[in-house]
Structure 1
Amino acid sequence: MIQLPSFSRRRAVLTVLASGASSLGLFSGSARAQAFPNRPIKLLVPVAAGGGTDLIARVVADALSRTMGQTWVVDNQAGAGGQIASQATARAAADGYSLMLGYVSTHGTLPAVRKLPYDTQKDFTYIGMIGGAPNVLVSNAVRGPQTFQQFLQDVRANPGRDSFGSAGAGTITHLVFERLKVATNTSIVHVPYKGVAPVMTDLLANQIQYAMPGLAGALNYIRSGKATALAVTGPRRHPLLPDVPTLKELGVPDFEAVQWVGIMGPAGIPADVGQKLTASLNEVLKQKELAEKLTSEGIEVMPMSVEAFRSYVAADSVRWREVVKKSDIKES
């Protein structure tokens, strides 16, 4: 019998052990993905209940619950422009059970105005894009102007008198209005809230005079005749508001903004679990019923690869940094 040298025997044993460990790892990952999810998945939503972003979260969570056979629990954690929910997500266990509805404010505009205790690219696992909608300039239907021209005349005649509400400092509903102020050379006071729903409540009570929520958050108020849509920020008129002109039509050049939404989790979610979440999201986005429900609320479904989603968010953040620079908003 041929005897292997002792070091050769050790190497052979280590090779076998390594091969077994590798196989065990592959098996473990496969088993984990098959078992996932075996308990409810929490979806943090960084705005107050009742607004457009919250509505999107609940519609998508309901569809994912049915598709994955496990409950998705929506947990609203508003405040600090979305920083509270984002920070909680970044620090959560990277097991796929703690996710968030990230959107343009949390990962696009907020990093442009604030030093954050987390990195919006490195500290998150990107699961997938859901879709986007334009913002809408709205006024009180009874006491406010009924056209964009009347809006300009009024605010220019009374600089600093009127106010606009946003879902929080640094959110898109804040920065998109700051961009409008610069473009139109107007002075309107900013009043931050914790979400779009309380903004619209005070708009209807005439506590504030204007707002620029996403279409999903404004649509019900416009349809009910409580708020007047003066303009949209999209590249073209929206089919749900065909009589409302774009800002570009109204003479505000190069003015486009999209309020995108997607799903993210903490960095380090196992690849197999992340892939299952992404596949499930893409599956529900293909469902006609879900697409119609989102479309009826002003959201255009925007499916894309995880890599494309991450790149889209990074580029969007750069654009909003430029807005902050031109608006002379100081980083906090």
Structure 2
Amino acid sequence: MKRRTYIAALGTVALSFAATPALASDAYPTKPVKIIVGFQAGGPTDVVARLVAKALQDELKGAFIVENRPGATSNIASEMVAAAPPDGHTLLLAAAPLAMNKFVFPKQKFDPITSFEPISKVSSAPGVFAVSPKLPVKTFQEFLKLTKQKPGELSYGTTGAGGTQHMATLRLEQLAGIQMLHVPYSGGSGVLNDLIAGVVDVAFMTSTGAMPNLEAGKVRPLAVAGPQRLPGIPDVPTFSEVGLPGMVSDSWNALLAPAGTPKHIIDKLAAAINKAVKSDEFKKTLIPQGAVLIGNSPEQFKTELRAEVAHWAEQFKKFNVEK
């Protein structure tokens, strides 16, 4: 009996040692995690990234640090994350241009589908069409009248050719039968500053991040490119209400990891995001700015991303956009 007991004890010890490496390999994070953002600090994507970083830090008990790497319509950040080790310690907080940039930068060194492991779409927010306070129009109808009187003279600012703002404005020109002059910038703050100053006449703003300036009247919002009016600017109609129901534009933010990142890490991050979007902090920060909180699964986000890339392939061909 004693001999059998001894052998059984040895077996138990052996099993516990065999299990230890597996448990250790599942530990995450094991060092600070960088969340790379392809846009300037203070912009709408940066706002979401910092909320995400704090939520992940609180939930997963590790350090999550936001690092801004703006440039090339977020391609610099995307390329950096695509090339990072697939261990979950370098993540990408992406925006809608991720699905669009391959049609603007055909030589980019990554693919939006194959270079990343989708984790979760965090939120989306509608575009708001705004004009400089120096432009003598107060309604969308007045803007249309002025633009048609001066075809090609009014200017619109964007964060670059092929970006969300640019494609939304091309869509608006098509639907409204107008023509304006495109002025690309390297970041959203440049667009906003020059819109306030009257250097450019109009621009699509993402409601998340731009709401304080919209509410304060530093720029004049004329229409919302979403399904409903926004709480912060309730007097501003939707495009449907001004007669352009097809004018819809939103900007989403999502978390991704390099391709090959282990599934248990992806699932752990996705679960944390799903919990975070239900929190009071996310709700009180983003919902008043018109954001829709999502927090979907990796599989759902992957399906949506594939569909969006296919959609933009058609749109870029239609508008013949070139960098």
Taking structure 1 as the reference length, what is the TM-score of the superposition? 0.87
In the other structure, the counterpart of 1:315 is 307
Task: Assess if the C-alpha contact under 8 Å between 2:32 and 2:89 holds in 1.
Answer: yes
Count the aligned residue pairs: 307
Task: Assess if the C-alpha contact under 8 Å between 1:61 and 1:73 holds in 2.
Answer: yes
For 2:22 and 2:267, the matched residues in 1 are separated by 12
In the other structure, the counterpart of 2:104 is 113
Name the amino acid aligned to 1:303: G
In the other structure, the counterpart of 1:43 is 35
In the other structure, the counterpart of 2:115 is 123
Task: Assess if the C-alpha contact under 8 Å between 2:195 and 2:202 holds in 1.
Answer: yes
Task: Assess if the C-alpha contact under 8 Å between 1:182 and 1:327 holds in 2.
Answer: no
3-state SS of 2:306 partner: helix
Aligned partner of 2:69 among 71, 77, 84: 77
**How far does residue 139 in structure 1 lie from its aligned partner after superposition?**
0.8
Structure 1, residues 113-142: CA drift from partner, whole Å, max 9, x if none?
A: 331321111110111110111001011124
In the other structure, the counterpart of 1:64 is 56
Task: Assess if the C-alpha contact under 8 Å between 1:48 and 1:194 holds in 2.
Answer: no
Aligned partner of 1:219 among 211, 216, 219: 211
Task: Assess if the C-alpha contact under 8 Å between 2:226 and 2:238 holds in 1.
Answer: yes
Aligned partner of 1:240 among 221, 232, 238: 232
Structure 2 segments unaligned to the other structure (5+ residues): 1-13
**How far does residue 78 in structure 1 lie from its aligned partner after superposition?**
0.9
For 2:22 and 2:288, the matched residues in 1 are separated by 39
Aligned partner of 1:149 among 141, 154, 167: 141
**How far does residue 167 in structure 1 lie from its aligned partner after superposition?**
1.6
Larger deviation: 223-232 or 110-119?
A: 110-119
Aligned partner of 1:94 among 86, 91, 112: 86
Identity %: 33
3-state SS of 1:135 partner: strand
For 1:184 and 1:28, the matched residues in 2 are separated by 63
Structure 1 segment 1-332 matched on structure 2, within 5 A? 28-33=21-26, 35-107=27-99, 109-115=100-106, 116-330=108-322, 332=323
**How far does residue 147 in structure 1 lie from its aligned partner after superposition?**
0.9
For 2:152 and 2:80, the matched residues in 1 are separated by 37
For 2:318 and 2:101, the matched residues in 1 are separated by 16
Taking structure 2 as the reference length, what is the TM-score of the superposition? 0.89
Task: Assess if the C-alpha contact under 8 Å between 2:93 and 2:253 holds in 1.
Answer: yes
For 2:272 and 2:311, the matched residues in 1 are separated by 30
Instruction: Report the RMSD for the aligned CA atoms in angstroms.
Output: 1.9
For 2:189 and 2:76, the matched residues in 1 are separated by 18
Structure 1 segments unaligned to the other structure (5+ residues): 1-19
**How far does residue 112 in structure 1 lie from its aligned partner after superposition?**
3.5
Structure 1, residues 162-187: CA drift from partner, whole Å, max 9, x if none?
A: 21111222211111111111111211
